[in-house]
Amino acid sequence: MVQPHETEEYEEAMRRRIFSLTKRNKPISCVTVWSDICGYGQVLDKLKWNLDDIQQDNYIILLHKFIELNIHSAIPIPGLLCEKFLILNDGLARTCDISENLKIVDLSLPFVIYIRNLFFAYYNSKKLCEEYGLGLRTIFAGGERMQYFSELITGNSFLVYDKGCQRKEAQEFLKTNILYNPSEFQINTAFSKSYLIDRIGSKEGFLPNCCYVERSFWEKCNHLFNLSVEVENNCIRLFHHKKEVIRLDIQKVHCLDVLGLTVIVDQISGIKLSLPTDNEEIYTRF
């Protein structure tokens, strides 16, 4: 008979427990982007929170297109640069670890393209939402994350069974996961900051159809291999091999307190690209 404590799942759970109790969990630097569709709550109110009516009015199609658009803008480089996505109703978080490998391996150009894609994902998502009469607010932030618990718990943690058991119910229960707990979001200060800034909303000047970057985002990106960032009064400049490749125009600067943490957030009004992969400079106004 197979006991729960004999499974790999149990071993992982115990390892996470020991690391947490002995304070050995490792913080990992990361950047996160949170995008929230503005006005979706009004849609819920108008349609009396009836999901089928919301679907018939094409707002589920909007969510599908919104998620699809963002996921297809990712640039995965296994082991070095790989985003993870978390969907929360009409919002989407995307986070990427800033690993030590990025400081010793020249992935600066893919990382610049990754940053470019983040801003164009915002721009294209905003246009998509406008087609449905809604808006979008996107917040970039930098911080750390830490895994302190298992990512999943299945029937293996509960069921005592014979390896030769062929019962369909038992086999299905063994495969059933009852916990959705991705390591990248278990505790993620970049995600927390971006989400809390979004919650502050319009009453503090964080308007729909705008893109904002909390400055610790650039602190995490700065000084990666052959990449540097300069924040000036009216723009943010990214350099690849000392050549400017991205310039972001700042429309407004916000300084605010987020749960005791003073943060500076720039509202971005446009992006200028001068990438080596492009034949000409490109400017897009947000």
Q: Which residues, including other chains, have CB under 8 Å from residue 23's CB and lie 6 or more apart? A: none
> What mean pLDDT comes out for the span 62-76?
92
Residue 29, pLDDT > 70, answer: yes
Q: Per-residue pLDDT tens for 199-227?
A: 999 888 999 999 999 999 999 998 787 88
pLDDT at 82 over 90: no
Strands 135-145 and 210-214: parallel
**Per-residue model confidence as pLDDT tens digits over 244-276:** 999 999 999 999 998 999 999 999 999 999 988
Average of per-residue pLDDT values in the chain: 93
Residue 166 has pLDDT above 70, yes or no: no
* Mean pLDDT for the stretch of residues 129-158: 96
Q: Choose the weakest-confidence range: 78-82, 221-225, 282-286.
A: 78-82
Tokens at residue 229, please?
């960032």
User: Among residues 68, 47, 60, which one has the least CA distance to residue 132?
Assistant: 60
Q: Count CB atoms within 10 A of the CB of residue 142.
A: 23
Confidence of residue 157 (pLDDT cuts 50, 70, 90): very high
Token representation of residue 39: 């006005």
Q: How far is C-alpha 21 from the chain's CA centre?
A: 28
Asked if residue 165 has pLDDT above 80, the reply is no
Q: Report the C-alpha gap between 168 and 265 in whole angstroms.
A: 54
Cα 133 versus chain centre, distance:
24
**pLDDT tier at 193 (50, 70, 90 boundaries)?**
very high
The mean per-residue pLDDT over the stretch 218-241 comes to 92
What is residue 6's predicted lDDT score, i.e. its pLDDT? Answer: 84
Residue 67 has pLDDT above 80, yes or no: yes
May I ask the CATH architecture of the domain 4-225? 2-Layer Sandwich (3.30)
Torsion of Cα atoms, 238 then 125 then 277 then 221, to 10°: 30
* Pair 98, 145: CB distance under 8 Å: no
What is the share, in percent, of the chain residues with pLDDT greater than 90? 73
Contacts for 36 with CB less than 8 Å, ≥ 6 apart = 90, 91, 136, 137, 138, 198
Q: Give residue 83's pLDDT.
A: 92
